[in-house]
Amino acid sequence: MRTVRCRKCGAPVVKISLGDGRKAVCDAEECLYWLEHPSRTVVTPNGEEIFASLNGRLRDAHGLGRPVHQCAKAGKEYDEDEMSGRVFVLLYTENSDNRCGADVFVFADLWKAQEKMTKLYKASIENLAHDEAVTRDDYYCSAEEMSAGIVEGYSSFCWTIEEQEIR
């Protein structure tokens, strides 16, 4: 695997082949990851994309992988796809005891944005041990074509896909 520099911010990155034939641009340095409280996409040595945390207790680490590069200049996960005319923006917002913040992912194809949203939503349902059968005013979840969300008391986890034109 050859290390190169990100064209936008100059950070060392590597391209990793994923199981479905796509390539991911990842940080060059491997790191430990945890499945609890996921906040980043990590690529495992066998090319699997998982939603994980980069913080946790050493003894609880789930494995070793490379985080998908979040370009400091682009402010999003870096994607090598050529953008033409329009992009699909996946906005993830979290308001919980663990994190108040947002992540932005940009895709050239709607189906890739939907696939990523579904993957992140399902991983969060599993990691939160959210019971999808239970529905109350303060405890529910839903997933649609362009949005998904989980509410547990005062905590909320939301995904929205928007189409944006490139000018």
Q: Are 6 and 71 in contact (CB under 8 A)?
A: yes
**pLDDT tier, 76 (very low <50, low <70, confident <90, very high otherwise):** low
- The tens digit of pLDDT for each residue in 91-110 reads 999 999 989 999 999 988 78
Rounded Cα distance, 116 and 38, in Å: 14
- The tens digit of pLDDT for each residue in 125-155 reads 999 999 988 899 999 999 998 999 999 999 9
- Structure token digits, residue 18: 């994923």
Whole-number average pLDDT of the chain: 86
CB-neighbour burial class of residue 58 (10 A; exposed 0-12, middle 13-18, buried 19+): exposed
Percent share of the chain, pLDDT over 70? 90
Q: Are 90 and 104 in contact (CB under 8 A)?
A: yes
- The tens digit of pLDDT for each residue in 25-40 reads 899 999 999 988 888 8
